[in-house]
Amino acid sequence: MSGVGVVATAVALYLQKLLGVSVPQAVLDRAWIRRVLALLPVALLSALTVVQTLDSPSGPVVDARLAGLAAGAMALALRAPFLVVVVVAALTAAGVRALI
């Protein structure tokens, strides 16, 4: 396995992060950029939530992860603390997976 490719990719992944925090604040303070940036994490994290719940090498699938996420959503609706929500989701997914 090529070590050069591994090191170059790892460094490039860091540089991607560095790039984001290197944009001058004056640019970020423009009104339209502020409005877009305020919504950006909501869009990205919402997309990430569904992709991580459904994705598989062969396209979207419904499995124990969705049961876990649904249980987590119920815990949220009941105003459970953050870490309880995460644990409820994990335990539900583990339980469903053990049963099927």
Partner 1 sequence: MTVTDRPADRDVAAARREGAGLGLVGVYGVSFGAVAVSSGFEVWQAMVLSLVGFTGGSQFAYVGVVASGGSPVAAAASALLLGARNTLYGLRLSALLPRSPLPRAVAAHLVIDETTAMALRHEGRDPTGAAARAAFWASGAVLFATWNVTTLLGALGVQALGDPRAFGLDAAAPAAFLALLWPALRRRLGAAVALAAALTAVTLSLVAPPGVPVLAAGLVALVGLHPRVDATGRAGPA
Q: Which residues, 16 to 55, sit near partner 1 by CB under 8 A?
A: 16-23, 25, 28, 31-32, 34-55
- Quote the CA–CA distance of 53 and 43 in Å, as a whole number: 16
Helix and strand counts by DSSP (H, E) for the chain: 5, 0
CA distances from 17 to 10, 36, 43 (A): 11, 19, 19
How many amino acids of this chain bind partner 1 (CB under 8 A)?
73
**Minimum distance from residue 54 beta carbon to partner 1 (Å):** 7
Residue recorded with tokens 């419904």: 62
If one asks whether residue 58 binds partner 1 (CB under 8 A), the answer comes out as no
**Minimum distance from residue 70 beta carbon to partner 1 (Å):** 9
Among 26, 62, 91, 100, binds partner 1 (CB under 8 A): 91
Residue recorded with tokens 């994990």: 90
